[in-house]
Amino acid sequence: MISNPILRGFHPDPSIVRVGDDFYIATSTFEWFPGVLVHHSKDLVHWRPLTSILTRSSQLNMEGNVDSGGAWAPCLSYHDGIFYLIYTDVKSRKGAFKDTHNYMVTASDIMGPWSEPIYLNSSGFDPSLFHDEDGRQWLVNMIWDHRKGTNSFAGIILQEYSKDEKKLIGPKTNIFRGTQLRLTEGPHIYKRNGYYYLLTAEGGTQYNHAVTMARSRHIDGPYEVDPANPILTSAGKPELELQKAGHASLVETQNGEWYMVHLVGRPVKDQLCMLGRETAIQRCHWTDDDWLAVDGGGNWPQSKVQAPRLPSHPFPAEPSVDRFDRAELGLQWNTLRIPASPDWLSLTARPGFLRLWGQESMSSTHRQSLVARRQQSMYCEAETSMEYRPEHYQQMAGLILYYDTRDYVYLRVTHHEELGTCIGIIRSIDGVYDELLDQDIPLGEGTYRLKVNIQRDKAKFMYAVQDGEWNEIGPELDVSHLSDEYAEYIRFTGNFIGMCVQDLSGERKHADFDDFRYEELT
């Protein structure tokens, strides 16, 4: 059996492709760098992070991008020996307008090197490339209508892509304006038994999210809607473990078995999903009248799914401790908006340590010195050892729980004119800054060990100096604001746990991190 979700923590908008005996899933990364993470499997049961595709600023320049902007809804495909990745770089997303630029990169090997991007259009988001049997290639994306009194999700646009000219050509056709669920997005086209199938996401990427299907004998329509729509949804079933089911992608195994990967959310409490939107999988079948249905007799996501008839292929477990003894950061690590470059991050300046030079504040959408990983379990613990000699209150470093520029909780070491080097907790909830101790705690010089323990929506911080005893610091905190649904506007990235350094004086004071442990407790 397959246990859902198959990709836990922030791994939304999955796009799956099979090449021979290998399965690959690409997922959105939003403002986190590098862009578009790829997981690999040989049996659809066991998955490992394999590579990131957008590793250069020339492919994805996100400096200044808004929170929950950046790399949206990738589409990974393979045709005639070439991998194609289509993605959106979202520059703005609030209000009537959305600036959404769509690009393509290619590679002959999933591990790269991936090409420089080819610009496609900016008419909407969720672009997807379909390779037809006659050799023609077609791009579909949702189109955004900013005008007052209109349906902003104005339909799915189809246009041909010319491989020779490296651009879109010919007419643009609105092939599908959606069902009564509205908010039509996430299009993918498949071909089977003479039908073009258009798979879409509808209902919005929250608790009314759904997967819908339409089909046509011609790629440009007209498309008839599946009478059984939605073919997958969690809407109206609050008892399900897997909520928010939608934004799907299909794959056929070597044995002719069909599976659907899709995003889900698992609330820690009150419909608040700290882990972000995750990836799950469902086994599917084709009905006698050539429509797709999920197994199990209903249209809701199952937590346990029958595995395909393929040999089991587990991967070694990832180590819980990173001692920063490699030349590059591991795949679990992410930086905010900018690449991990030697001007602010080094694994060689002091071998065996991660050195971060302080840059801008946690409110910055430009240059933060922050290295973090996804929270992937509701019960987990993280710990790091840090050497740091701050000389001014504008210099800070430590262990952070980070959702975005408006929501974070930070166990930070800094300097105080009277206390010297000291430690305290600062927090931002919906943009409101707070200091959680009446007075920071003096530390003296040494190596500082910092720890956080998370139990669903609660977190407890601890610190130690050198090899001394652990000391609890501050109260048990409600950290449910580090969730997709907490803000008054929709956001998408889930909670991250990591290390960061700020130097608001511009002197670029550095901190050295000796190790980082992340351990799931259940």
Cα–Cα distance between 33 and 30 in angstroms, integer?
A: 8
Residue 251 has pLDDT above 90, yes or no: yes
Q: Which pLDDT belongs to residue 488?
A: 85
Q: What is the DSSP letter of 270?
A: T
Structure-derived torsion over alpha carbons of residues 235, 238, 240, 242, reported in degrees to the nearest 10: 60
Q: Which pLDDT belongs to residue 440?
A: 97
**How many Cβ atoms are within 10 Å of 415's Cβ, its own excluded?**
19
Cα–Cα distance between 477 and 508 in angstroms, integer?
A: 31
Closest of 60, 63, 57, 56 to residue 71, by C-alpha? 60
Cα–Cα distance between 398 and 462 in angstroms, integer?
A: 12
Mean pLDDT of 479-492: 94
Give CATH 2.115.10.20 domain extents, the chain: 11-229
Give CATH 2.60.120.200 domain extents, the chain: 321-520
Cα–Cα distance between 343 and 362 in angstroms, integer?
A: 19
What is the tens place of the pLDDT at every residue in 47-103? 999 999 999 999 999 999 999 999 999 999 999 999 999 999 999 998 999 999 999
What is the tens place of the pLDDT at every residue in 186-233? 999 999 999 999 999 999 999 999 999 999 999 999 999 999 999 999
Distances (CA, A) of 460 to 271, 410, 438: 22, 12, 17
Work out the mean pLDDT of the chain and round it to a whole number.
97
CATH class of this structure's domain 11-229? mainly beta
Mean pLDDT of 408-413: 98
Contacts of 122 (CB under 8 A, 6+ apart): 99, 100, 101, 102
Contacts of 334 (CB under 8 A, 6+ apart): 29, 32, 33, 34, 371, 372, 373, 374, 496, 498
* pLDDT confidence bin for 522, thresholds 50/70/90: confident
Closest of 434, 512, 507, 505 to residue 474, by C-alpha? 434
* pLDDT confidence bin for 274, thresholds 50/70/90: very high
Cα–Cα distance between 28 and 321 in angstroms, integer?
A: 25
| CATH numeric code, 321-520 | 2.60.120.200
The strand pairing partners of 262, in sequence order, are 248, 280
* pLDDT confidence bin for 489, thresholds 50/70/90: confident
Mean pLDDT of 276-296: 97
- Give me the active site residues, please: 13, 185
The pLDDT > 90 percentage for the chain reads 98
> What is the full DSSP assignment across 240-254?
-SSEEEEEEEEEE-T
Cα–Cα distance between 28 and 287 in angstroms, integer?
A: 31
